Amino acid sequence: MLSSPIELDELLSVSNYQFKNEHELEKEVLKLWEIFTQKRDHIQDAYFTEKQIAAYLAFYFSTNFPKIRSCLEKLPPSLIAEFSNYNVLDFGTGPGTFLFGFLDIFPDFSKKLIGLDSSELMISQAKEIKDKFYQNVDIDFEVSHDEQIDNLLMSFSNSLNELEINDFSKLLEKYRPSALVFIEPGTKETFNKIKEVREFLLSKNYNVRYPCMSNSACNLAEDDWCHQYLKLKHSQSIERLTQKLKKDRRNSPVIFHYYTLKKNIEACPIIFRVLDETKFSYECEVCFDNSIVKHRVLKKYLKREGIKKSSFKSFFKAGSLYDCKIIKEISANYFESEPIF
């Protein structure tokens, strides 16, 4: 099986197109980058040739693969454990990024795994990866799938932003999933789409399990938005490619949501936004039951737990769980708190 960090050569070994040199690869990746960031109305044009899909595999698959583990590990252990009970259908699977990343955290997964994509070339590429790295795993990659599946988790990874709410509604009616996962670009535009989807899912009796852990109305201001923050590690060969392209793929904002028909049993504050660091403390905004308050965390609390100074910042990332004990109220909606590890 593939595992992070992925090497560029091992991915290109299963590509249906072999680049003549690095320059050709870099040029093709930059074309894709322009489509995905500036010409999204032409996004279907990105999947017409084996050359484009090879570039996607080298740059996007390699750097999105570790996001799956990183996102799922933001959940409390009790929520992570739920995933092993579902059958999984990944909509807009591309070369299987979510499913292969899912197997990185659940290598002994024994339920159904299905990847759907409208691009036959993408499906062909996903099958190539499966045949080389996952010979003993049962994964179905298909252009369409009509079978009704019980206890289904439906995942959308960089595919929700290509759907209108009416199309999403039809998918929900067709597959009737027990749970849904979204891992999408951490942009304000995507947040506006996920807010619309969130309201729709609540109207269909789904419950937010992460990041809100509450079905309360979102209290964010109209011009504000919420995302999670990942710090990823890539192999030297992939890092070299991203540096040559001047595209940072280590520091990654994402929008990660998890919904189920099952109600939330436990709730924990989530770091909404990291603020200032001073000589003696960190400050952050924390969301709990959709109310946002400011916290100050003294560095001495972290030292008391035996945490090295170089690791302090790793505890303060947007989207991370923040279980704490309130020490005192500094002012209205501003608290000094001590993390509970």
- Give tens-digit pLDDT for 115-158: 999 999 999 999 999 999 999 999 999 999 998 899 999 999 99
Give me the CATH code for the 270-339 domain, please: 2.40.50
The pLDDT score that the predictor gives to residue 107 is 96
Phi, psi of 321 (to 5 degrees): -65, 145
Alpha-carbon distance values, 253 to 56, 128, 229, 269 (Å): 19, 30, 4, 19
The pLDDT score that the predictor gives to residue 160 is 92
The pLDDT score that the predictor gives to residue 47 is 66
Q: Let me know: does 288 contact 334? Beta carbons within 8 Å.
A: no
Give every residue of the chain whose pLDDT is below 70, as ranges.
40-47, 264-267
The pLDDT score that the predictor gives to residue 230 is 94
Residue ranges matching CATH 3.40.50.150 in the chain: 8-260
The pLDDT score that the predictor gives to residue 23 is 97
| 3-state percent helix, strand, coil for the chain, nearest multiple of 5 | 40, 25, 35
* Residue positions counted in the chain: 341
Residue ranges matching CATH 2.40.50 in the chain: 270-339
Hey, what CATH class is 8-260 in?
alpha beta
The pLDDT score that the predictor gives to residue 283 is 94
Amino acid residing at 231:
K
The pLDDT score that the predictor gives to residue 312 is 84
Q: Is the dihedral of CA 12, 34, 141, 230 positive or negative?
A: positive
Q: What is the pTM of this model?
A: 0.90
